Chains A and B, each alone.
Chain A
Amino acid sequence: MISDLFSVTVLVGILASGIRLATPYLYAAIGETFAQRSGVLNLGVEGQMLLGAFAAFYVALTTGNLGLAVLVAMLVGAIMGLAMAFVTVNLHAQQGISGIGFYLFGLGMSDLLFQKMLGTVETVRGFPRIHIPVLSDIPGLGQIFFSQNLMVYAAYLLVPIAWFVLNKTTLGLKIRSVGENPEAADSLGVSVAGVRYFTIVLGGTLSGVAGASLSIALLNVFQQNMTSGLGFIAVALVYFGGWRPWGVLGGALLFSMVNSLQLWIQVLGIPIPSDIAVMMPYVLTILVLVASVSRVRGPSALTKPFERED
């Protein structure tokens, strides 16, 4: 029944899982924000997430060590980022195309490893919920904000950190100028290649974490193509958020809330075809992108390779 949606319990449930579901978007989109602010469009996020998800899941399953699992996911994402950086920075590849290549690689590779090393869908004990004392006892709010797991809290903590790094540090200044006018940065002795390597590898690392957050913190399983477009939505969120961490946070929450809503619609058996419900976040992606076009200007040098003509 539609009216079921409006009971307090259900609303709290929707909000709580909305907060939770924003986690992978946040990791991936914040990482992508760094890459794009430095002028690199990394469309391989989805592939990096899939490999990160598998790596984290496998390590968690075999060792039970969740910290190690996240670390390995970061490493896998970083290696993917390093490859992307080489292709983008050194070989001046067309970024949109090479990104899709890395996505397909991640998709195929994660599935191959899954088939060879696991074969069947299993579950793992992921990050447990942490009930923050006192705060988690607040009715409603406690369940929504203060009874999540560690990876969820860390994702939200990443937003102010990213804002601070981009706007208040010398590194952030370098990243922003390399994305706007790499020639100018180069003429002042800033290493354009170095900055881009850093941001692409950072983006890959965070995409790896985003994958891990799915497989060992939110769903606690690994399945073929389990990200199902989430990485691409993360790229869209960077545009939606106007290349700003707080904007990205707003976008991530909007999408995760809609996602959470459609999940609850299915759970409650509300008579809307599930295909329509599942479609909602994607339709929203398109609508939001159409609406946000030309609202904010992106980094001027986005997708443009830099080469000193020597």
Chain B
Amino acid sequence: MPEANILPSGKARIDSLEMRGVTKRFPGVLANDRVDFDVKSGEVHALLGENGAGKSTLMKILYGLYHPDEGEILLNGKPVTISSPNDSIHLGIGMIHQHFMLVQTLTVAENVALGLPSSRGLLTDLDRVSKRIIELADIYGLKIDPSAYIWQLSVGQQQRVEIIKALYRGAALLILDEPTAVLTPQEVDELFTIMNQMVKDGHALIFISHKLHEVVEISHRVSVLRDGRKIGTRPTSETTKQDLANWMVGREVGFAPNRGVVERGEVRLKLEAVSCGSDRGTPGLRAVSLDVQAGEILGIAGVSGNGQRELAEAVTGLRKVTEGKVTLEGENVTNLLPVELTERMLSYVPEERMRDGMIRNFSVAENMILREHHKMPFSRSGFLNLGEIARHSAELITKFQVKTPSQETLAKNLSGGNIQKVVIARELSRKPRVILAAQPTRGLDIGATEYVRQQLIEQRNAGTAILLISEDLDEILSLSDRIAVIYEGQIMDIVPREEATPAKLGLLMAGVKDESASVVTT
């Protein structure tokens, strides 16, 4: 190590950064309420909280994207004003956003150079930038090709580009906003190795997450936000996952839903060598075979974009199956219309709930009957039976604990968790034979997540066959009876829950068939 206060990137260290009494109001919402937060050189400080707790707002204030209504920021003890990302970059603060801030059609070097002054004045100096990228990559152990286009890179590699981008700008303090959300377990391990290296070198890291085991693994201190207020800060070593969860939600949280043992029944849904295209014209599914039995949850694990969407659409009649056969309770239903599958009691909890799961500008009551609106008792000879619809939705609102001012409230005005409860209520209350649930808890807070998972378990216990597609490995592991891993549109393997470990699934998710074998080529 050179001088103590200099980072390997050649930039000065940030010994301490402190946010004091930060308040931020949005119309009708107090997003941050007198929040104090600090981070020091050589530590990972985790920021934990539910959706809407104010984590991102606080960090966007630190990065200069939002302006606080009250409060101050002190850098190495001196007050600073951060009114734009330019200011924060200048002060040595970098941010890895949850949704990567990369331009897909540009190269790595171009993305890094963007917005920076060039040594050649008005002309770009990409050769020089590339050289520096390779230097930095060597120092921090990141492998990256400066001339590759972003769209050619895997998600893990794109994240490395984001880190390089921040380091290139001299970031001494790095904010990582839910960096693990899109990674495979192996990629998470690699990221943590890089983070540990950076901390050892004197960087200050802020790690935002709602995955408790990751927070426990990587951070030195942890702060919890709830409803815009900071609940507290503690050394991570003095807390447990259960403490943190209770802190976050403000009450006792049950972790693993009680699954119980259920006798598996007959095969309800069967796919035989099903292939279909994707929106990009490339193959979406390639000869996928699987079956789901009554009383079981078959989990589909995989990294985003490996055919999950196509699988859901092929099963629900939204995408044309080009080869193979889909069987529902022994009947060939390949390429039937969605309405015909509805008749056969297939329920669907779609991934994009706001786009595919409901009509934003319809009321809660109307959304509750979308699937069966044309049938008795909700309509008769083409006329809606409004009384029955109101009775039905009032019943579901109570039964499924939907928090809504009234059943006339427009769906778009509900919170994410309650919107999903409306979808779940509609899809589960009709006593389906098969349920396809795609990302049923994505973006939901712990409370709503817990509720949705419990509902799925109850359906399973009642003997429904459930196909669960999720990119959240924890969810797959806690709900599934069997786990199928999808990679580039193919099912890599189907393993019973008892034999599934994150490491084993992670390899399959990365396209590695078994530990010794090579990557599946396409």
Task: Give bound CA distance, A154 to B104, whole Å.
Answer: 34
Minimum distance in angstroms from A173 CB to a CB of chain B: 6
- The segment out of A109-117, A163-171, A257-265, A275-283 that lies at the interface is A163-171
The answer on a CB contact under 8 Å between A170 and B103 is: no
Report chain B residues within 8 Å CB of A180.
103-106
Task: Give bound CA distance, A206 to B428, whole Å.
Answer: 60
Partner of A168, one of B100, B102, B105, B123: B123
Interface membership of chain A positions 186-220, coded 1 if the CB is closer than 8 angstroms to chain B and 0 otherwise: 11111000000000000000000000000000000
Q: How large is the interface on B (under 10, 10 to 19, 20 to 34, 35 or more residues)?
A: 20 to 34
The answer on a CB contact under 8 Å between A187 and B103 is: no
Interface membership of chain B positions 61-72, coded 1 if the CB is closer than 8 angstroms to chain A and 0 otherwise: 001011100000
Minimum distance in angstroms from B130 CB to a CB of chain A: 14
Task: Give bound CA distance, A287 to B318, whole Å.
Answer: 32
Minimum distance in angstroms from A28 CB to a CB of chain B: 25
The answer on a CB contact under 8 Å between A190 and B101 is: no
Report chain A residues within 8 Å CB of B115.
174, 185, 188-190
The answer on a CB contact under 8 Å between B106 and A176 is: yes
The answer on a CB contact under 8 Å between B122 and A187 is: no
Other than A168-B124, A177-B110, give 8 A-B pairs with Cβ distance below 8 A.
Answer: A168-B123, A170-B113, A171-B122, A173-B124, A176-B105, A180-B103, A180-B105, A184-B114
Q: List CB contacts (< 8 Å) of B44-58 with chain A.
A: none
B89 interface hit (Cβ, 8 Å): yes
Task: Give bound CA distance, A171 to B104, whole Å.
Answer: 18
B429 interface hit (Cβ, 8 Å): no
A181 interface hit (Cβ, 8 Å): yes
Interface membership of chain B positions 402-430, coded 1 if the CB is closer than 8 angstroms to chain A and 0 otherwise: 00000000000000000000000000000
Asked whether A181 and B102 contact (CB < 8 A) given A187-B95, A187-B97, the answer is yes
Report chain B residues within 8 Å CB of A188.
85, 89, 101, 114-116, 165
B239 interface hit (Cβ, 8 Å): no
B246 interface hit (Cβ, 8 Å): no
Report chain B residues within 8 Å CB of A184.
100-103, 111, 114
Task: Give bound CA distance, A187 to B97, whole Å.
Answer: 9
Of chain A, the residue at the smallest CB distance from B113 is: A173
Partner of B101, one of A172, A173, A181: A181
Asked whether A173 and B110 contact (CB < 8 A) given A181-B102, A187-B95, A300-B104, the answer is yes
The answer on a CB contact under 8 Å between B103 and A181 is: yes
Task: Give bound CA distance, A187 to B111, whole Å.
Answer: 12
Report chain A residues within 8 Å CB of B104.
180-181, 300
Task: Give bound CA distance, A183 to B65, whole Å.
Answer: 11
Closest 8 CB pairs of A and B: A188-B115, A189-B86, A184-B101, A187-B101, A177-B103, A190-B115, A180-B103, A181-B103
B379 interface hit (Cβ, 8 Å): no
The answer on a CB contact under 8 Å between A177 and B65 is: no
Chain A residues at the B interface, C-beta cutoff of 8 Å: 168-174, 176-177, 180-181, 183-190, 300, 308, 310
Minimum distance in angstroms from B114 CB to a CB of chain A: 5
Report chain B residues within 8 Å CB of A173.
106, 110, 113-114, 124
B289 interface hit (Cβ, 8 Å): no
Task: Give bound CA distance, A177 to B124, whole Å.
Answer: 14
Task: Give bound CA distance, A138 to B84, whole Å.
Answer: 60
Minimum distance in angstroms from B279 CB to a CB of chain A: 12
Asked whether A310 and B66 contact (CB < 8 A) given A187-B97, A189-B115, the answer is yes
Report chain B residues within 8 Å CB of A177.
103, 106, 110-111, 114
Q: What are 7 A-B contacts with C-beta separation under 8 Å? A: A170-B122, A170-B124, A177-B111, A181-B104, A184-B101, A184-B102, A184-B111
The answer on a CB contact under 8 Å between B65 and A310 is: yes
B118 interface hit (Cβ, 8 Å): yes
Task: Give bound CA distance, A1 to B103, whole Å.
Answer: 56
Chain B residues at the A interface, C-beta cutoff of 8 Å: 63, 65-67, 84-86, 89, 95, 97, 99-106, 110-111, 113-118, 122-124, 165
Report chain B residues within 8 Å CB of A187.
63, 65, 85, 95, 97, 101
The answer on a CB contact under 8 Å between B85 and A169 is: no
Report chain B residues within 8 Å CB of A181.
101-104
Partner of B89, one of A183, A185, A189: A189
Minimum distance in angstroms from A34 CB to a CB of chain B: 16
Minimum distance in angstroms from B163 CB to a CB of chain A: 14
Report chain A residues within 8 Å CB of B99.
183
The answer on a CB contact under 8 Å between B124 and A185 is: no
The answer on a CB contact under 8 Å between A310 and B67 is: yes
Task: Give bound CA distance, A174 to B122, whole Å.
Answer: 12
The answer on a CB contact under 8 Å between B103 and A185 is: yes
Asked whether A174 and B114 contact (CB < 8 A) given A181-B103, A184-B103, the answer is yes
Minimum distance in angstroms from B101 CB to a CB of chain A: 4
Minimum distance in angstroms from B204 CB to a CB of chain A: 19
The answer on a CB contact under 8 Å between B101 and A183 is: yes
Task: Give bound CA distance, A246 to B117, whole Å.
Answer: 28
Minimum distance in angstroms from A305 CB to a CB of chain B: 18
Report chain B residues within 8 Å CB of A186.
85
Minimum distance in angstroms from B103 CB to a CB of chain A: 4
Report chain A residues within 8 Å CB of B95.
187
Task: Give bound CA distance, A275 to B106, whole Å.
Answer: 46
Task: Give bound CA distance, A300 to B122, whole Å.
Answer: 25
Task: Give bound CA distance, A180 to B124, whole Å.
Answer: 18
Minimum distance in angstroms from B27 CB to a CB of chain A: 12
Minimum distance in angstroms from A96 CB to a CB of chain B: 23
Report chain B residues within 8 Å CB of A189.
84-86, 89, 115
Report chain B residues within 8 Å CB of A169.
122-124
Task: Give bound CA distance, A185 to B102, whole Å.
Answer: 8
Of chain A, the residue at the smallest CB distance from B120 is: A170
Minimum distance in angstroms from A188 CB to a CB of chain B: 4
Most chain A CB within a 10 A radius of its CB, from B67, B84, B105, B110 = B105
Task: Give bound CA distance, A180 to B85, whole Å.
Answer: 19
Task: Give bound CA distance, A172 to B122, whole Å.
Answer: 10
Task: Give bound CA distance, A184 to B103, whole Å.
Answer: 7
Task: Give bound CA distance, A181 to B162, whole Å.
Answer: 14
Task: Give bound CA distance, A189 to B104, whole Å.
Answer: 18
Report chain A residues within 8 Å CB of B113.
170, 173
Of chain B, the residue at the smallest CB distance from A188 is: B115
Minimum distance in angstroms from A192 CB to a CB of chain B: 11
Of chain A, the residue at the smallest CB distance from B64 is: A189
Of chain B, the residue at the smallest CB distance from A171 is: B122
Report chain A residues within 8 Å CB of B89.
188-189
Minimum distance in angstroms from A168 CB to a CB of chain B: 6
Report chain B residues within 8 Å CB of A310.
65-67
Report chain B residues within 8 Å CB of A183.
99, 101
Asked whether A308 and B123 contact (CB < 8 A) given A177-B103, A185-B103, A189-B115, the answer is no
Of chain A, the residue at the smallest CB distance from B121 is: A170
Partner of A170, one of B97, B102, B118: B118
Of chain A, the residue at the smallest CB distance from B97 is: A187
Task: Give bound CA distance, A97 to B300, whole Å.
Answer: 45
Report chain B residues within 8 Å CB of A172.
124
Report chain A residues within 8 Å CB of B105.
176, 180, 300
Task: Give bound CA distance, A173 to B118, whole Å.
Answer: 11
Task: Give bound CA distance, A308 to B105, whole Å.
Answer: 22
Minimum distance in angstroms from B224 CB to a CB of chain A: 25
Minimum distance in angstroms from A83 CB to a CB of chain B: 27
Report chain A residues within 8 Å CB of B165.
188
